Structure 1
Amino acid sequence: MLIFIPFILIGLFVLFSSFFVVKQQTAAIIERFGKFHSIRQSGLHMKIPVVDRVAGRLSLKIQQLDVIIETKTLDDVFVKLKVSVQYKVVTEKVYDAFYKLDYPHDQITSYVFDVVRAEVPKMKLDDVFVKKDDIALAVKAELNDAMMDYGFDIIRTLVTDIDPDPQVKIAMNRINAADREKTAAQYEGDAQRILIVEKAKAEAESKRLQGQGIADQRREIARGLEESVEVLNRVGINSQEASALIVVTQHYDTLQSLGEATNSNLILLPNAPQAGSNMLNDMVASFAASNQIGEAMKDAKKNKED
């Protein structure tokens, strides 16, 4: 019985080594005597022990490789870019992916370095930020052409980070702050200018309305004086005497209003008791003199025409 134990163990070993499992989204490469034999997909599979072996397994899932490149821009600024490459093994090209490349990550990284260092030096730093999608598309196009022959499909490339030199970032922040302060100052100046213009317009309108009010007031005063003169003429008082009487009356009305006002610092000169009569006499004399001058001018003109 003990003689059969080794044979039983060998049989169990052969039985168990004949089966293997391939996980989902994975491909297994089977070699027979060191030569490629077949590719097995997910599930339970059988192989010949000792003769066949699982040479390797490849994941068919989408994978991501992050590549960090330092390069120089057109305006001589050193910048670090992080490029994320999403790729997967093409199911129909598992053989190429396994046997043609030993280190696919290194191959992808080399192509990313080559493309980025060819594209970024053509751009200024600001353009690198604006055109990062163009850089990603250039990387994807180059990788697709190169890696498809090796059984890899480039799904997407993304420029996920752009990191300039720290001193350059500080300078950019200062420039940005200065631009914002300049814009704020312009807006404040525009606001102040609008306030000044609107204030000037308001003052001009106020002056216009004030002048119109004064003109209306004087017009009404003149109309009142005209009516007063007409009333006095009807009772036998001529225009000169009527005008003098009205002036004297307004003089005393003004004195009366000043006397009724409290805390008034206004002084009306002349302010003597005989000021009214003196004013009346002066006005009558001035009217008489003006009439004489007018008559003399008429006579002179008439003699000149004759």
Structure 2
Amino acid sequence: MIAGINTDLIVLGIWGLIFALFIIKLFQSIRLVPTKSAYIVERLGKYHSTLDAGFHALVPFVDKVSYIHDLKEETIDVPPQECFSSDEVNVEVDGVIYISVVDPVKASYGVTDYRYAAIQLAQTTTRSVIGTLDLDRTFEERDVISAKVVEVLDQAGAMWGIRVHRYEIKNITPPETVKNAMEMQVNAERERRALLAKSEGDKQSKINRSEGIKAEMINLSEGEMQKRINEAEGKGEEILTIAKATAESIELMATVIAAPGGKNVVRMQLGAQYLKQLDGLSNGASRVVLPGNMMDFDHWMDSIGLEESKS
């Protein structure tokens, strides 16, 4: 009796486990796929379908979600690696890859691990590209290295179901000795530029100073020339004015002499001037020289007046 009860309990427990397992599988067969995701379903170990975003129901115990892919763009760090440039300098390079899954089926079955494969291919391509460049160009042509890595990864990505958007080099680290030499070179170049700038400044300063002196001398010479021109023009104007006044005086004198009584007026003026000259001689000397005959003065005046009238 007890053995029959135990057997019934065992059977009931087995059916309970089967029912619980069926319920679990039933719930597992219901899949809610998020946006920008893809589920790879296998039926009896063979690829069956790809589930896009939304609600999906699978066949319990038959269908299985084997791979889950995120279709959003993702970032993969490329670990640092040692590379040799064309001038035999060992540098350490690391970077980052931006990729996304475009074909979930190929990403599941075309390669075992597309992330690891992309990292390895990026490293090998980086080593090969840097091997063709010298050390200085590796710092200047990062875009060339990145473009080459993207090109190679795109070719492989077509078979892996991924798309490589870009590859960026984060760091290129040369050895410490090379870094010190580069720093010394940069400092020397900076000092050379400073000396060149200083010499250019001194040169420009001397040029400006000489041009200033030249301009000053030109201004002084032009001022002196203008001064002399003005003085010459002033003297010329003075001479012309004196000549004009003398001519007018002579013309007026001739008019006066030609007028009635003009001779007497001239005689009186000449006599007054003569006496004035005699008065000057008497002030500056102890003796005054007079004509022997003062009457001769009148005859001399008559002759002068006659000559003046004739002229």
Shorter-chain TM band: 0.5 to 0.7
Deviation of the 1:151 alpha carbon: 1.1
Change (3 A) 1:16 1:77: same
Deviation of the 1:144 alpha carbon: 1.0
Name the counterpart of 2:105.
95
Task: Give 1 or 2 for the bigger CA radius of gyration.
Answer: 2
Q: Distance in 2 between matches of 1:89 and 1:206?
A: 79
Q: SS of the residue aligned with 1:122?
A: coil
Q: 1:148 aligns with which of 148, 158, 167?
A: 158
Aligned length: 220
Q: 2:96 aligns with which of 53, 72, 84?
A: 84
Name the counterpart of 2:175.
165
State the Cα deviation string for residues 213-270 of structure 1 (Å, max 9, x = none).
6xx89xx9xxx9xxxxxxxxxxxxxxxxxxxxxxxxxxxxxxxxxxxxxxxxxxxxxx
Whether 2:67 is the aligned partner of 1:61: answer no
Gapped runs of 5+ residues in structure 2?
1-8, 236-311
Q: 1:35 aligns with which of 22, 46, 49?
A: 46
Q: SS of the residue aligned with 1:188?
A: helix
**Aligned AA for 1:81?**
V
Name the counterpart of 2:272.
none
Q: Distance in 1 between matches of 2:159 and 2:209?
A: 77
Change (3 A) 1:16 1:173: same
Could you tell me the percent identity over the aligned residues?
25
TM-score, normalised by the number of residues in structure 2: 0.60
Q: 1:188 aligns with which of 181, 194, 198?
A: 198
Q: Distance in 1 between matches of 2:217 and 2:106?
A: 93
Q: Distance in 2 between matches of 1:120 and 1:114?
A: 10
Whether 2:47 is the aligned partner of 1:22: answer no
Q: Distance in 1 between matches of 2:190 and 2:32?
A: 64
Change (3 A) 1:24 1:204: closer
Q: 1:49 aligns with which of 60, 63, 67?
A: 60
Q: Distance in 1 between matches of 2:211 and 2:22?
A: 110
Q: Distance in 1 between matches of 2:134 and 2:64?
A: 55
Deviation of the 1:210 alpha carbon: 8.2
Q: Distance in 1 between matches of 2:49 and 2:185?
A: 63
Change (3 A) 1:144 1:207: closer
Q: Distance in 2 between matches of 1:206 and 1:17?
A: 100
Q: Distance in 2 between matches of 1:198 and 1:14?
A: 94
Deviation of the 1:128 alpha carbon: 1.3
Is the deviation greater in 56-65 or in 200-209? 200-209
Deviation of the 1:162 alpha carbon: 2.2
Whether 2:126 is the aligned partner of 1:116: answer yes
Is the deviation greater in 38-47 or in 201-210? 201-210
Q: SS of the residue aligned with 1:144?
A: helix
**Aligned AA for 2:137?**
D
Change (3 A) 1:170 1:210: same
State the Cα deviation string for residues 140-164 of structure 1 (Å, max 9, x = none).
1111111211211112222233222
Root mean square deviation of aligned Cα: 3.3
Change (3 A) 1:203 1:47: closer
Deviation of the 1:204 alpha carbon: 5.7
**Aligned AA for 1:86?**
Y
**Aligned AA for 1:111?**
L
Gapped runs of 5+ residues in structure 1?
225-306
Deviation of the 1:202 alpha carbon: 4.4
Name the counterpart of 1:70.
82
Change (3 A) 1:186 1:42: same
Q: Distance in 2 between matches of 1:79 and 1:58?
A: 36
Change (3 A) 1:17 1:199: closer
State the Cα deviation string for residues 95-128 of structure 1 (Å, max 9, x = none).
2210221122221122112211211111112211
Q: Distance in 2 between matches of 1:63 and 1:211?
A: 80
